[in-house]
Amino acid sequence: MSPETPKYHRILLKVSGETLAGEKKFGLCPDTLKAIAREIKAVTDLGVEVGIVVGGGNIFRGLAVSAQGIERTVGDYMGMLATVINSLALQDVLEKAGMPTRVLSAIAMHEVAEPYIRRRAMRHLEKGRVLIFAAGTGSPYFTTDTAAALRATEIGAQALLKGTKVAGIYDRDPEKYAEALMLPHLTYFDVMTKDLRVMDITAVTMSKEQDIPIIVFKLLEPGNMKKVVLGQEVGTLVEGAGHEK
């Protein structure tokens, strides 16, 4: 097998809204968007089919504003709209990098995005188009982590990649504790019982039920995403107990 042969031929990448903000913590960072595009281009050049779910926390957080008096359902819908803004920004930078891209929204808005239809999504992937799934699941009370696990299941992704600002999953917050240890291999059960909070429980449970490995890695480390799809040991791999080394 060639060293450039992907281990995963169809993936779902989850990118948080905070990642798109770069160091600004709010809004969109053009340099960060371009860096993400380079990572995705390196993967699509291998023939890997890519779906993306992006969060909206750099613009709006429904759960946070619900504590300020806005009804949770309303706040969640506002958060879904924020993911559409991020999806359009990501689409623009991906297409400028030479990748054909489609935004599929779980909330109908025909002027800016196609409606999410699974069969249409599958056809786009088969044609080599990068898919960006916007507006979460389209329902309140579900996070974009859950949307990522759901879309990964629906499109038959072989792995769910969680791109973060840190190298993987740690036993404690590495930004607060210098002695935090990265955990290179975990089971779904470990993540749920140890309260590691890398993804919400619903997303982890769905990935476990469908036996979709979750790989948590530093997205903005040049070359990392390509290493992940080639099966190299990067970040933290979360999978079933039967796969443990």
Cα–Cα distance, 47 to 127 (Å, whole number): 11
- The pLDDT value recorded for residue 66 is 62
Q: Give SS3 for 142.
A: coil
Give backbone dihedrals phi and psi of 223, rounded to 5 degrees, phi first. 90, -10
What would the pLDDT profile of 118-133 be if each residue is shown by its tens digit? 999 999 999 999 999 9
Residue 185, beta-bridge partner list: 237
**Could you state, in order of their start, the residue ranges of all structural domains in the chain?**
10-243
Buried b / exposed e over 87-103, threshold 16 CB at 10 Å, is bebbbebbeebebebbb
Name the residue type at position 29: C
Nearest alpha-carbon partner for 162 in 180, 149, 176? 149
Q: Is 70 exceeded by the pLDDT of residue 35?
A: yes
**Whether residue 2 has pLDDT greater than 70:** no
73-104 pLDDT tens trace = 998 999 999 999 999 999 999 999 999 999 99
pLDDT, one tens digit per residue, over 153-195 is 999 999 999 999 999 999 988 888 889 999 999 999 999 998 8
Kindly tell me if the per-residue pLDDT of 112 is higher than 70: yes
Q: Where are the alpha helices (DSSP H) in 99-187?
A: 118-126, 144-155
Cα 206 from Cα 237, distance rounded (Å): 16
Percentage of the residues of the chain whose pLDDT score is greater than 90? 82
Does residue 62 register a pLDDT over 70?
Answer: no
Is the pLDDT score of 234 beyond 60? yes
Which candidate, 153, 182, 175, 167, places its Cα nearest to that of 227?
167
CATH number for 10-243 (one of 2.40.240.10, 3.40.50.1820, 3.40.1160.10, 1.10.3720.10): it is: 3.40.1160.10
Full-model pTM: 0.94
